[in-house]
Amino acid sequence: MSFAMGLGASLRALSAARLGIQTASQNIANVNTPGYSRQRLLLSSSQPYTLGGFQVGSGVQVADVRRLVDEGLIARVANQESVVGAARVRYERLREIEGLFADGAGGVAERMSELFGALGALQSDPGDGALRGGVVQAGEAFTSGLNLVGKQLGALGNDVFREVQGLVAAVQSGAQTIADLNAEIVRLEANGSMANDLRDRRDQAIRDLSALVDVRRVDHSSGSVDLIVGGRLLVAGRRADTVQVSRDASGATRVTIGSNRRPANLEGGRIGALLELEQSAGPAYLARLDRLTREMVLGFDRIHTTGVPGDGPFQSLTAGYGAVDTNGNGVLGDELLQDLGLPFVIRHGELFVRVTDRSSGDASHHRIAIDPSATTLQELARDLSGIEHLQASVDTSGRLRIQADQGYGFDFAPALDARPDPLGLFGGAAPRAATAGEGPFDLNTAGFPQTFTVDVEGTVEVVTFEASDFADPARATAAEVAAAIDADLTRGEALVDGDRVVLRASGSGTPASMTLAEGAGSPLAALGLPAGTFQGQDYGVDVRIHGEYSGTANQRFRFVAVGDGEIGITPDLQVDVYDESGRRVATLDVGDGYDGSELTVADGVRVSFTQGAISATAHDAFGVDAIADPDTADLLVGLGLNTFFLGATAETVRVNPDLVADPGRLAAGRYGSTGDTGNLLQFQALQDRPSGALGGLDLTGYVGGLIADVGFEAGRASSTLETQESLGAFLEEQRLSISGVDLDEEMLDLVAWQQAFEAASRMVSVVQEMTDTLLDLGR
> Highest-confidence range of 244-253, 545-554, 754-763, by mean pLDDT?
545-554
Residues whose CB falls within 8 Å of the CB of residue 688, separated by 6 or more in sequence, listed in order: 698, 699, 700
Q: Mind listing the pLDDT tens digit for each residue in 124-177?
A: 988 888 999 999 999 999 999 889 878 877 666 666 788 888 999 999 999 999
Q: How far apart are CA 530 and CA 524, in angstroms?
A: 7
Q: How far apart are CA 679 and CA 307, in angstroms?
A: 7
The lowest-confidence range among 320-329, 595-604, 628-637 is 320-329
Q: How far apart are CA 503 and CA 509, in angstroms?
A: 16
- Residue 102: the pLDDT is 65
Q: In the sheet where 621-626 sits, what is the strand order?
A: 584-589, 574-578, 555-562, 621-626
**Angle between the 160-188 and 196-210 helix axes, to the nearest 10 degrees?**
160
Q: Beta strands 584-589 and 574-578: pairing type? A: antiparallel
Q: Mind listing the pLDDT tens digit for each residue in 463-513?
A: 999 999 999 999 999 999 999 999 999 999 999 988 899 999 999 999 999
Q: Phi/psi zone of residue 479: left (φ > 0), alpha (ψ -120 to 50 degrees), beta?
A: alpha
DSSP codes of every residue in 134-149: HHHHHHHHHHHHHHHH
Instruction: Determine contact, residues 504/493, Cβ cutoff 8 Å.
Output: yes
Residue 596 has pLDDT above 80, yes or no: yes
Average pLDDT over residues 76-83: 82
Would you give the distance in Å from CA 646 to the centre of its chain? 5
Burial class from Cβ neighbours inside 10 Å (0-12, 13-18, 19+) for residue 18 reads middle
Number of CB atoms found within 10 A of residue 63's CB: 11
Q: How far apart are CA 132 and CA 234, in angstroms?
A: 58
**Angle between the 160-188 and 129-156 helix axes, to the nearest 10 degrees?**
60
Q: How far apart are CA 406 and CA 391, in angstroms?
A: 11
Average pLDDT over residues 272-283: 81
**If you compute the radius of gyration of the chain from its CA atoms, what whole number of angstroms results?**
44
Q: How far apart are CA 198 and CA 253, in angstroms?
A: 35
Counted residue by residue, the chain has a size of 779
- Residue 49: the pLDDT is 73
- Residue 297: the pLDDT is 95
Q: What is the mean pLDDT of the chain?
A: 88
Closest CA to 69 of 154, 181, 196, 206: 196
Average pLDDT over residues 601-606: 96
Number of CB atoms found within 10 A of residue 748's CB: 12
Residue 296 has phi, psi (to 5 degrees) of -65, -45
User: How many DSSP H helices and E strands does the chain contain?
Assistant: 16, 34
Closest CA to 390 of 414, 368, 421: 368
Q: Please report, for residues 2, 440, 768, the alpha-carbon distance to residue 775 in angstroms, rounded to integers and kept in the order given.
A: 15, 134, 11
Residue 58 has pLDDT above 50, yes or no: yes
Residue 655 has pLDDT above 60, yes or no: yes
Among residues of the chain, what percentage have pLDDT more than 90? 49
Say which residue, 144 or 98, is predicted with more confidence. 144
pLDDT band per the 50, 70, 90 thresholds, residue 618: very high
Residues whose CB falls within 8 Å of the CB of residue 124, separated by 6 or more in sequence, listed in order: 131
Say which residue, 601 or 676, is predicted with more confidence. 601
Residue 1 has pLDDT above 50, yes or no: no
The lowest-confidence range among 509-518, 553-562, 620-629, 718-727 is 718-727
pLDDT band per the 50, 70, 90 thresholds, residue 100: low
Residues whose CB falls within 8 Å of the CB of residue 343, separated by 6 or more in sequence, listed in order: 321, 638, 647, 648, 649, 652
pLDDT band per the 50, 70, 90 thresholds, residue 669: confident
Q: Beta strands 225-229 and 408-411: pairing type? A: unpaired
Beta bridge partners of 353: 366
Instruction: Determine contact, residues 271/170, Cβ cutoff 8 Å.
Output: no
- Residue 99: the pLDDT is 67
- Residue 533: the pLDDT is 95
The lowest-confidence range among 22-26, 415-419, 679-683 is 22-26
3-state secondary structure of 122: helix
Q: How far apart are CA 402 and CA 599, in angstroms?
A: 37
Instruction: Determine contact, residues 761/14, Cβ cutoff 8 Å.
Output: yes
Burial class from Cβ neighbours inside 10 Å (0-12, 13-18, 19+) for residue 528 reads middle
pTM of the model: 0.69
Q: Phi/psi zone of residue 35: left (φ > 0), alpha (ψ -120 to 50 degrees), beta?
A: left
Q: Mind listing the pLDDT tens digit for each residue in 373-426?
A: 999 999 999 999 999 999 999 998 899 999 999 999 999 999 899 999 988 899
Residue 735 has pLDDT above 80, yes or no: no
DSSP codes of every residue in 54-110: EEE---EEEEEEEE---HHHHHHHHHHHHHHHHHHHHHHHHHHHHHHHSSSTTSHHH
Q: How far apart are CA 16 and CA 40, in angstroms?
A: 12
Would you give the distance in Å from CA 327 to the centre of its chain? 25
Would you give the distance in Å from CA 346 to the centre of its chain? 19
Kindly report the CATH class assigned to 432-535: mainly beta
Say which residue, 8 or 348, is predicted with more confidence. 348
- Residue 327: the pLDDT is 80
- Residue 4: the pLDDT is 54
Among residues of the chain, what percentage have pLDDT more than 70? 96
pLDDT band per the 50, 70, 90 thresholds, residue 274: confident
Q: How far apart are CA 47 and CA 9, in angstroms?
A: 11
Q: How far apart are CA 655 and CA 645, in angstroms?
A: 4
**3-state SS track over 455-506:** EECCEEEEEEECHHHCCCHHHECHHHHHHHHHCCCCCEEEEEECCEEEEEEC
